[in-house]
Amino acid sequence: MRKKSLITFFGAAAFAVALTGCVTPGIVPRTASHAVPASYGSALTDTTNTAQLRWQEFFTDPNLTTLIDTALRNSQELNIALQEIQLSKNEVQVRKGEYLPFLGVGVRSDVDKPGRYTLRGATEEQVRIEEDHKNPEPLANHQVGAFASWEVDIWHRLRNARKAAALRYLASVEGRNFAVTNLIAEVATSYYELLALDNQLAITRQNIDIQRNALQLVKLQKESARTTELAVQRFEAQLHNTLSNQFTIQQQITETENRINFLVGRYPQPVARNDSSFNALVPQLVRAGVPAQLLQNRPDIRQAEQRLLASNLDVQVARAAFYPALRITGSAGFEAFRPGLLFTSPQSMLFSAAGDLMAPLINRNGIKSVYSSANASQIQTAYNYERTVLNAYVEVSNQLASLRNLGQSYDEKARAVAALNQSVTISNSLFRSARAEYTEVLFTQRDALEAKYDLIELKMKQLNAQVNVYRALGGGWN
- pLDDT tens digit sequence for 374-401: 999 999 999 999 999 999 999 999 999 9
**310-330 pLDDT per residue, tens:** 999 999 998 888 888 888 888
Closest CA to 188 of 81, 134, 289, 263: 263
Coil, helix or strand for 288? strand
User: What does the pLDDT average to over 131-150?
Assistant: 74
Whether residues 229 and 318 share a domain: the answer is yes
Structure confidence at residue 6 as a pLDDT band (50, 70, 90): low
Whether residues 53 and 134 share a domain: the answer is no
User: What does the pLDDT average to over 217-234?
Assistant: 77
Coil, helix or strand for 109? strand
Which of 333, 358, 383 is the C-terminal boundary of a domain?
358
Whether residues 334 and 433 share a domain: the answer is no
Which of 306, 333, 358 is the C-terminal boundary of a domain?
358
Write down the pTM of the prediction: 0.81
Structure confidence at residue 22 as a pLDDT band (50, 70, 90): very low
Query: Which DSSP category does 23 fall into?
Result: T
> Domain limits at 147?
100-152+325-358
Cβ-defined contacts of 77-86 (< 8 Å, 24+): 77/179, 77/183, 78/176, 78/179, 78/180, 78/183, 81/172, 81/175, 81/176, 81/179, 82/176, 84/172, 84/175, 84/176, 85/169, 85/172, 85/173, 85/176
Do residues 465 and 403 lie in contact, with contact meaning Cβ atoms separated by under 8 Å? yes
Whether residues 368 and 454 share a domain: the answer is yes
Query: DSSP letters of 329-380?
Result: EEEEEEEESSGGGTT-TTTTEEEEEEEEEE---S--HHHHHHHHHHHHHHHH
DSSP bridge pairs for 358: 325
Provide the CB-side half-sphere exposure for 128 (13 A, CA).
14
Closest CA to 174 of 300, 62, 285, 59: 300
Whether residues 351 and 447 share a domain: the answer is no
Whether residues 196 and 66 share a domain: the answer is yes
Whether residues 198 and 314 share a domain: the answer is yes
Whether residues 158 and 204 share a domain: the answer is yes
Give yes or no for residue 128 having a pLDDT over 70.
no
CA 173 → CA 284, 303, 471, distances in Å? 30, 8, 17
Q: Is 271 within the bounds of a domain?
A: yes
Q: Is 477 within the bounds of a domain?
A: no
Dist. CA 78–CA 177, nearest whole Å:
9
User: What does the pLDDT average to over 83-111?
Assistant: 84
Whether residues 344 and 242 share a domain: the answer is no
Structure confidence at residue 66 as a pLDDT band (50, 70, 90): very high
Domain of 108, CATH number, reads: 2.20.200.10
Q: Is 478 within the bounds of a domain?
A: no
Q: Is 429 within the bounds of a domain?
A: yes
Q: Is 446 within the bounds of a domain?
A: yes
Domain of 314, CATH number, reads: 1.20.1600.10
Least confident of 24-28, 283-287, 347-351: 24-28
Whether residues 21 and 170 share a domain: the answer is yes
Question: How many distinct structural domains can be found in the chain?
Answer: 2
Give residues with Cβ within 8 angstroms of 221, minimum separation 6. Answer: 227, 231
Provide the CB-side half-sphere exposure for 397 (13 A, CA).
14
Phi-psi region for residue 289, left (φ > 0), alpha (ψ -120 to 50) or beta?
Answer: left
Q: Is 274 within the bounds of a domain?
A: yes
Whether residues 166 and 18 share a domain: the answer is yes
Whether residues 285 and 368 share a domain: the answer is yes
Highest mean pLDDT among 11-25, 301-315, 341-355, 442-456: 301-315
Q: Is 219 within the bounds of a domain?
A: yes
Which of 358, 381, 408 is the C-terminal boundary of a domain?
358
